[in-house]
Amino acid sequence: MVSNNSAVFTNRFILLGASNLTLSLRLVIYRLQQRFGGPSEVLAAVGHGRAYGLTSQALGRGLSGITGNGIWHQLDRLPARPTYALLTDIGNDIVYGSTPQQVLQSVAECVTRLQRHGAQVVVTNLPLAAIERLSVRRYLFYRNLFYPSSCLSRDEALSCAQAVHQGLGELALRQHFRLYEQHPQWFGADGIHVRYWRRSRFYQDVVTHFPQSNNLSTQAACYQNGIQPWLQRAQFAHKTLLGREMRCEQPSGKLADGSIVFKY
């Protein structure tokens, strides 16, 4: 367990997502700190194949749905501070069998909880144009690779993705959060993962959708020289591995600038 001295943190970042966010967690923190400064208190619900409303399994590792895990209880216990939340990687629930309405309900629930804590919220929409480019053969290849238990056809998946894409636009208007439209040039052959060499520019673009306060320039200027290394790598608060339950006290991660990471 990492020591948590609440007096030292400039802000709080809440990061919800799946594989893209998992692969770029420190990069996303760095891009946010370039905009808002630090050190930061980070709450992250991530993981390959992670779903918002359903328990998911990937390579024998099980994680609860984001709406139902301990990140929300932890958030309720923390003191108020400037908070910025990014919701991304929406769509895994579709391949696991959720309806578009269930996906949208899960996102809406997350946004409502975040806004109760005064968070500025940015949500990335589904990369619909990149998904639409997938042929049946390519879709089946990646579905069987990433979601081997799924039987969802390409047409069914696309229809659901289109409904969620439209629904997120309507939800953004009702709940007053910023929606980031993801252009297909960011994405690789599978239509859902950001290309490795474009991740830095991609997240730099994403964080510009957060409103920036004028009094943060000095704090943010300290974060122009590269991604902070781990002093202690974050571990999941709760997961199952091959059916075995595993727990880790939080916060479990610490970066070189003193930022701490709760991982759920």
Conformational region of residue 8, where left means phi above 0, alpha means psi within -120 to 50, and beta covers everything else: alpha
Q: What span, in angstroms and rounded, lies between the C-alpha atoms of 61 and 162? A: 29
> Cβ contacts of residue 200 below 8 Å, gap of 6+?
27, 31
Residue 224: pLDDT band (50, 70, 90) is confident
- Structure confidence at residue 139 (pLDDT): 97
- Structure confidence at residue 143 (pLDDT): 95
> Is residue 119 within 8 Å of residue 84, measured between CB atoms?
yes
| Residue 1 domain-assigned (yes or no) | no
Residue 212: pLDDT band (50, 70, 90) is confident
- Structure confidence at residue 125 (pLDDT): 98
| Residue 54 domain-assigned (yes or no) | yes
Percent of the chain clearing pLDDT 70 (strictly above): 95
| Residue 92 domain-assigned (yes or no) | yes
- Give the pLDDT mean for 38-58: 96
Position 133 pLDDT exceeds 90 = yes
Express each pLDDT in 199-210 by its tens digit. 999 999 999 999
| Residue 255 domain-assigned (yes or no) | yes
Neighbouring-strand partners of residue 255: 230
- Give the pLDDT mean for 52-78: 95
> Range with the lowest mean pLDDT among 7-11, 22-26, 92-96, 134-138?
7-11
Other CB atoms within 10 A of residue 90 CB = 26
Angle at the Cα of 87 from the Cα atoms of 13 and 180, rounded to 5 degrees: 110
- How many distinct structural domains can be found in the chain? 1
Position 131 pLDDT exceeds 60 = yes
pLDDT top residue among 226 and 180 = 180
Residue 245: pLDDT band (50, 70, 90) is very high
- Structure confidence at residue 168 (pLDDT): 98
Domain residues for 219? 6-263
Output the pTM of the full model. Answer: 0.95
Residue 4: pLDDT band (50, 70, 90) is low
- Give the pLDDT mean for 12-24: 98
Question: Given the structure tokens 């894409």, which residue do they identify?
Answer: 165
Q: What is the mean pLDDT of the chain?
A: 94
Q: Which CATH number does the domain housing residue 215 bear?
A: 3.40.50.1110
Residue 178: pLDDT band (50, 70, 90) is very high
> Range with the lowest mean pLDDT among 5-19, 69-83, 112-126, 139-153?
5-19
- Structure confidence at residue 7 (pLDDT): 54
Query: Among 124, 56, 117, which Cα is nearest to 86's?
Result: 124
Question: Given the structure tokens 């003193």, which residue do they identify?
Answer: 258
